[in-house]
């Protein structure tokens, strides 16, 4: 059996050690991700409606099914 050696950044070394739970601090910084500006105006209205339909659709279907009985 051979051992595969892959160069890994020091930040990810804790993920290679055996542990019950794994995690790394500062993941957003490691990946170079920042924050996005807050939505405003029409875009925020559209996003709200889309999320409302996406998450509320099933609820409305269930309520309609109960009322129809």
What is the per-residue pLDDT across 6-42, written as a single tens digit (0 to 9) for each? 888 887 777 777 877 766 555 555 455 566 677 778 8
* pLDDT in the model for residue 25: 57
Per-residue b or e along 27-64, where b marks 16 or more CB atoms closer than 10 Å to that residue's CB:
eeeeeeeeeeeeeeeeeeeeeeeeeeeeeeeeeeeeee
* pLDDT in the model for residue 29: 54
* 24 touches 15 (CB < 8 A): yes
Higher model confidence: residue 32 or residue 2?
2
Q: Is the pLDDT of residue 46 over 60?
A: yes
Mean pLDDT value of segment 34-55: 79
* pLDDT in the model for residue 27: 52
What six digits make up the tokens of 45?
A: 């209205």
């Amino acid at each position: 059996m051979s051992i595969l050696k892959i160069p890994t950044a020091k930040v990810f070394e804790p993920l290679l050690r055996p542990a019950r739970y794994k995690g790394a601090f500062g993941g957003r910084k490691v990946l170079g991700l920042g924050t996005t500006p807050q939505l405003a105006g029409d875009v925020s209205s559209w996003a709200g409606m889309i999320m409302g339909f996406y998450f509320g659709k099933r609820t409305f279907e269930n309520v309609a099914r109960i009322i129809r009985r």
